[in-house]
Structure 1
Amino acid sequence: MRHLTIAALCGLVLAGLAQAEPLNYNVVNLQAEARREVPNDLMAVTMFTEQNDGDASRLSANLNKALTAAKVMADAYPKIKFYSGENQTYPVYDNKNRATGWRGRAEARLECRDFKQCAELIGKMQSVLQIGQWTFSISPERRRDVENELIGDALQAFNQRAEIVRASLKAKSVKVVNLNVNGGGGEPPPPVYAKRAMAMAMEAAPAPVAEGGTGAITVTVSGSVQLVE
């Protein structure tokens, strides 16, 4: 009886292996993608002020005064987000390592979707702050929507490649073994350092030109298919 039970169990194991065995051959790994260029719809700008003073308390007060003035200007543009950034104060030494005063830097950050309004506000804020850099990007909401639209295109491209492989190898059909769908994009554009705008800030600077450009969104589909003979 025991021999029969063991034989029966062995038969079930072998049957299970026989069913899984087709996955061990005629398996091809494929990858396809769908890509779209999308206008950048988010602008981030860093502005700052750097000042020197012999008194640390007075320097800190002056830095805060500049940021407060910038915040008042930004309040007139409710659709633009204003954030206070880093505020640093450190001693300044001469070539004999003697403290001669203090230097400080205060930053503010703007985030906006209306580039025209943002450029207008920046032009006004240059009376108290300088432009450090700005970047353009695709907002998370826009990226998610476009990725969802691209999933179908990426899957179609994957199926087309699978069909090419099937036809080239003269298989009867093709079966998907596993599939991965990933969203992403290229490297973000490098920040623009506004050297020209910084120089203009010394005068009555006009609003800078804000051209967002485009960014790439890509959805990649990768996986394995089995060719059925």
Structure 2
Amino acid sequence: MRAFTLPLLLSLALAGTHAHAQSYNQISFNVENTKTIANDELTATLTKSADNANAKTLANTLNTTANKALAIAQKYPNVKVTTGRHHTYPRYDNKGKINGFTGSSSINIQSQNFEEASELIAELQGFMTLSSLDFGVSEATQKAVENELKAQTIQKFTDEAKTISTAFGASDYRIIKVDLNNAGGRFSVSPVMGYATAAAPESSVATQSYEGGESRLNYEAQGVIELVK
């Protein structure tokens, strides 16, 4: 037993020394690329709220409004319109008895054609309320920019690795580990909404011109290199 113990201990000691030496010349760092691009997609939600003593009558009112909105949207082929949330709940008097019902129905709008979307929103505001309006980067644009930033970030990481190894007097370097990520995604800048571009009759809402603002897309590389002396 003793004849095998010493070589085994020696082997473990050498392995520990080798592992320590491997990590001795390792350096971790990160690089990041950022690009600011114009928001090219609009999303909006319009809502109809109503009250009625009869739940069935209320439901008919909300359904009729939603159907009317979807029918009007057919005139705008470059705008995607989908039905949103639908809520109905009882209303109580001070004695805890039901004395009516309150409900709401919404539709969602998504489009890269700001002009058509603006016209549709203005038309729907004749009988619905604009609940939210946001601007962002479309999925296709985000993917294209992300691929561009990824290639630039990888090149930037490689250049930085060369600079670091040269500064430390190394003849070369080895990449031990690299993590690529989109650094938290996008950070939208508040959009600027323009004034009405056209007068409208009293019974309708004036069309607005929209400026979507900008977003910053980030991409980051975090890694570890080992200096080769």
Within the alignment, does 1:99 sit opposite 2:98 as a pair?
Answer: yes
Counterpart-to-counterpart distance in 1, 2:18 and 2:146: 37
- Alpha-carbon RMSD: 3.1
Checking the alignment, whether the CA contact within 8 Å between 2:47 and 2:131 is kept in structure 1 is yes
* Deviating more after overlay: 206-215 vs 41-50: 206-215
CA contact (8 A) 1:135 1:189 kept: no
Q: Distance in 1 between matches of 2:48 and 2:228?
A: 68
Shift of 1:187: 3.7
Partner residue in 1 for 2:32: 33
Matched, 1:215 2:210: no
2:59 maps to 1:60: yes
Kindly state the Cα deviation for residue 189 of structure 1 after the two structures are TM-superposed: 5.6
Aligned residue number for residue 197 of structure 1: none
CA shift, 1:178, in A, is 1.5
How many equivalent residue pairs? 221
CA distance in 2, matches of 1:52, 1:190: 34
d(CA) in 2 for partners of 1:102 and 1:126?
23
Structure 2: distance between partners of 1:77 and 1:20: 66
Letter in 2 for 1:217: L
Q: Which residue of 2 aligns with 1:73?
A: 72
Kept after mapping to 2: 8 A contact 1:163/1:174: yes
Distance (whole Å) between structure 2 residues aligned to residue 10 and residue 138 of structure 1: 60
- In the TM superposition, residue 97 of structure 1 has moved relative to its aligned partner by 2.6
What residue identity is the alignment partner of 2:214?
Answer: T
Q: Distance in 1 between matches of 2:207 and 2:213?
A: 18
CA contact (8 A) 1:45 1:134 kept: yes
CA deviation after TM superposition for structure 1 residue 67, in Å: 0.8
CA contact (8 A) 2:58 2:101 kept: yes
TM-score by length of 1: 0.82
Give SS of 2:208's match.
coil
Q: Work out the percentage of aligned pairs sharing the same amino acid.
A: 25
Alignment check: 8 A CA contact 1:30 1:223 kept:
yes
TM-score (norm 2): 0.82
Shift of 1:165: 2.4
Equivalent runs, 1:82-161 vs 2, <5 Å: 82-161=81-160
How far 1:60 moved relative to its partner?
Answer: 0.6
- Provide structure 1 residue ranges, at least 5 long, that are not aligned to the other structure: 193-199
Q: What secondary structure, in the 3-state scheme, does the structure 2 residue paired with 1:217 have?
A: strand
Structure 2, unaligned runs of 5 or more:
193-199
Question: Take 1:110 and 1:41, find their aligned partners in 2: how far apart are those partners?
Answer: 14
In the alignment, the residues of structure 2 paired with residue 215 and residue 187 of structure 1 have an alpha-carbon distance, to the nearest angstrom, of 6
Q: Provide, for residues 86-117 of structure 1, a one-character-per-residue CA deviation record: whole Å limited to 9, x for no partner.
A: 11111112333332211110010011110111
Kindly provide the CA deviation profile for residues 139-185 of structure 1, in whole angstroms up to 9, marking residues without a partner as x: 22211111111122112222233233223322222221111221252
| Distance (whole Å) between structure 2 residues aligned to residue 214 and residue 41 of structure 1 | 9
1:23 aligns with 2:61: no
The structure showing larger relative contact order (alpha-carbon pairs under 8 Å, at least 6 residues apart) is 1
Alignment partners' CA distance in 2, 1:190 and 1:49: 26
Q: Whole-Å Cα distance in 1 between the matches of residues 180 and 22 of structure 2?
A: 21
| Displacement of 1:85 | 0.9
Which residue of the partner structure matches residue 195 of structure 2?
Answer: none
Structure 1 distance, partners of 2:60, 2:191, is 30
> Residue 228 of structure 2 corresponds to which residue in structure 1?
228
Q: 1:132 to 1:191 in 2, by over 3 A?
A: farther
Q: Distance in 2 between matches of 1:12 and 1:98?
A: 84
Measured against aligned partners, the alpha-carbon deviations of 1:173-229 in whole angstroms (never above 9, x if no partner) come to 22211112212523456799xxxxxxx9x9521123322111111111111011122
Q: Secondary structure at the match of 2:148?
A: helix
